[in-house]
Structure 1
Amino acid sequence: MPAATRNKSGKAGPASKAAVDLHPDSKPEHKTSKANSGDYRDVVVKTDENQETSLRKLAATGPIVVFLVPKANTPGCNRQYESYTRNYERFTALGVRCFVLSKDKPEALARWRAKYQSPVPGLSDPTQNLIGKLKARKPPANTIRSHFIFAEGTADKLAEAIPVSPDKSCEIALKSLEELGIKKKA
């Protein structure tokens, strides 16, 4: 069953500036709960180059897609990462940058990125602080495979798919961007 995309209140609804529901007739595979507005935007994570950043900083120059994986360099995560790597130009054509977020250390994410020669940067959250605030943490210390779309400038959450299949995440994210009307600025 495909993952449902939910708005900020966790309810399906008509497409709006704030959110879009891609599968209005489907039931969510995982119930999401409402995150406090802004409580995730400034959480510090490290890039695969060991630099500190936040969603707000990453979204300063354009919308972003962040896809979450349970563990780098494992079969399902590799398929998901390869899909975003193969389709990276489709995202950049829309003015959107993609990032992969996991609890792996920056060094592990850098090795993974090099292995696939991927343009998709890694974000490291070993304490799962950001992952938890996005409601994608599965106790005791696992990550729910998912993806999120954040608005330019504010890093407001526009859409999410939680959980999501590693083989469908990229296409669902691209469809969400299309339905949100996100296009590259002229």
Structure 2
Amino acid sequence: MGLKVGDRIPDFSLKDQHGNTFSTADFTGKKPLVIFFYPKDNTPGCTKEACSFRDSYEEFTERGAEVIGISADSESSHSTFAARYNLPFVLLSDPKNKVRRLFKVEKSLFNLLPGRETYVVDKGGHVIMSFNNMGASGHMSRALKALKKIS
């Protein structure tokens, strides 16, 4: 099982879809984070999940949160995915699944697919919500509900 409510997230840095380095250290103490781990760019479930975050992105930013998607796909794959579906948030490339392991996101479906897990993290870097479900629906709504409780 992944990180639990109350756990502090590990510090990490990864490259985003533009080749820039994203570091949690730049956000801890400043704003909440919504971090969703997903299996793969341009697949039906992952596209549905990413688009649900896109469609409610303004509600997240109005509450001061940064939305971040993470998968093992390359920066260029993320760039294409973000452009194709007009995704306004950061997509991070974790090709060796280093951050996925730090968050203890387990594989699903007979240990074949990378897991789908969403975390809401408060300004202090502590998990206030985690949701692990391979179904793409429900991640965004649960994250927004958790964020509303702290904003």
- The CA deviation string for residues 126-159 of structure 1, in whole angstroms up to 9 with x for no partner, is 100100111113286742111011222x422222
Q: Give the paired residue count.
A: 148
Between the aligned partners of 1:132 and 1:151, the Cα distance in structure 2 is 21
Tell me the equivalent position of 2:22: 53
Unaligned runs of 5+ in 1: 1-5, 9-17, 19-34
Q: CA deviation at 1:164?
A: 5.0
The higher radius of gyration belongs to: 1
Extract structure 1 runs of 4+ deviating beyond 4 A: none
Residues 148 and 79 of structure 1, relative CA distance in 2, 3 Å threshold: same
Q: Which residue of the other structure, out of 127, 140, 147, is the alignment partner of 1:170?
A: 140
Equivalent residue for 1:147?
A: 118
Measure how far apart 1:59 and its partner are: 3.9
Greater fraction of residues in strand: 2
Q: TM-score, with normalisation over the residues of structure 1? A: 0.71
Partner residue of 1:158?
128
> In the alignment, is residue 116 of structure 1 matched against residue 89 of structure 2?
no
Which structure shows the higher helix fraction? Answer: 2
Separation in 2, partners of 1:107, 1:7: 32
For CA contacts below 8 A with separation 6 or more, give which structure has more relative contact order.
2
Q: Displacement of 1:57 after TM fit?
A: 2.3
Q: Summarize the Cα distance change of 1:58–1:109 in structure 2 as closer, same or farther, 3 Å threshold.
A: farther
- Correspondence list, 1:1-186, <5 A: 7-8=4-5, 18=6, 37=8, 40-41=10-11, 43-138=12-107, 142-152=113-123, 154-178=124-148, 181-183=149-151
CA contact (8 A) 1:59 1:150 kept: no
Distance 1:69 1:103, change over 3 A: same
Q: CA RMSD in A?
A: 2.3
* Distance of aligned partners of 1:157 and 1:137 in 2 relative to their CA distance in 1, 3 Å threshold: same
Between the aligned partners of 1:125 and 1:158, the Cα distance in structure 2 is: 23
Percent identical residues: 24
